[in-house]
Amino acid sequence: GAVVSQHPSRVICKSGTSVKIECRSLDFQATTMFWYRQFPKQSLMLMATSNEGSKATYEQGVEKDKFLINHASLTLSTLTVTSAHPEDSSFYICSARRQGYNEQFFGPGTRLTVL
Amino acid sequence: LAKTTQPISMDSYEGQEVNITCSHNNIATNDYITWYQQFPSQGPRFIIQGYKTKVTNEVASLFIPADRKSSTLSLPRVSLSDTAVYYCLVGYTDKLIFGTGTRLQVFP
């Protein structure tokens, strides 16, 4: 139980295009989902907290107009990187907190490469 | 949010017990302590969580002293496949802030 999936697992795009990453909790309902970014050899950096049915809360320094987050249901959150640039190339990871529980469960990550 | 401090790296050999200690001096009353394992290019994997004293599951034990200002993850008889980064986090139902983690290297 408590499986989180991400799609796609890997994406390569041209500079200036937008990329959507999906995060799904497969066997539980997640009232809150989180989006992280991780650069090589570094720790995970929290980007935003997404609550179902409400606007996401972004961490300081994260542009909300560039990283659009939608949490339309209890099992799905999406992150859209708009007008992607090479510096947005990174490993994006989502996590979901099961309703009524404390621990978070992480997705497998999405490797974004912007050419 | 409570800040955590862990050793940057540790080395071990197969079959040995590995103990990774994390300090979290400003842990709040409601905070739980959770450990995650991460392999390269994968999302973190939940290992164990505890509030106080000792917690044990099929892969690890977590020791938490009475003052809860630190915790120790114990991995019994590590294997090469345990080479990974281990993160200690404290929190309750709010967001988790990752520290630097401990890079464990297991040698044959």
Span A18-69, pLDDT tens digits:
999 999 999 999 889 999 999 998 999 999 999 888 889 999 999 999 999 9
- Comparing CB atoms, the residue among B34, B43, B98 nearest residue A108 is B43
Question: Residue A73's beta-bridge partner residues?
Answer: A76
| Model pLDDT for residues A61-110, shown as the tens digit of each residue | 999 999 999 988 889 999 999 999 999 999 999 999 887 777 789 999 99
User: Quick one: pLDDT band at residue B97, thresholds 50, 70, 90?
Assistant: confident
Task: Say yes or no: A11 contacts chain B, CB-CB below 8 A.
Answer: no
Angle (CA) B45 B9 A102, round 5°: 30
Residue B93 has a pLDDT of 64
Closest CA to B60 of B84, B40, B43: B84
Q: Residue B51 has what pLDDT?
A: 94
What pLDDT, on a 0 to 100 scale, did the predictor assign at position A53? 81
Distance, CA of A80 to CA of A69 (rounded, Å): 6
Per-residue pLDDT, B73: 98
Distance between CA atoms of residues A80 and A66, nearest Å: 8
Taking one residue from A and the other from B, the number of pairs with CB-CB distance under 8 angstroms is 51
Rounded-to-10 torsion of CA A31, B71, B104, A105 = -10
CA distances (Å), origin A95, targets A30, A104, B22, B34, B46: 9, 6, 22, 14, 11
A87: nearest Cα among A108, A113, A66, A61: A113
User: What local confidence, expressed as pLDDT, does residue A110 receive?
Assistant: 98
Nearest to A98 by CA among A5, A26, A38: A26
Give the residue from chain A lying closest to B85, CA to CA: A43
Which pLDDT belongs to residue B69? 95
Report the pLDDT averaged over residues B17-28: 94
Residue B42 has pLDDT above 90, yes or no: yes
Residues B29, B25: Cα–Cα separation, whole Å? 12
User: Per the CB < 8 Å rule, is B46 touching A91?
Assistant: no
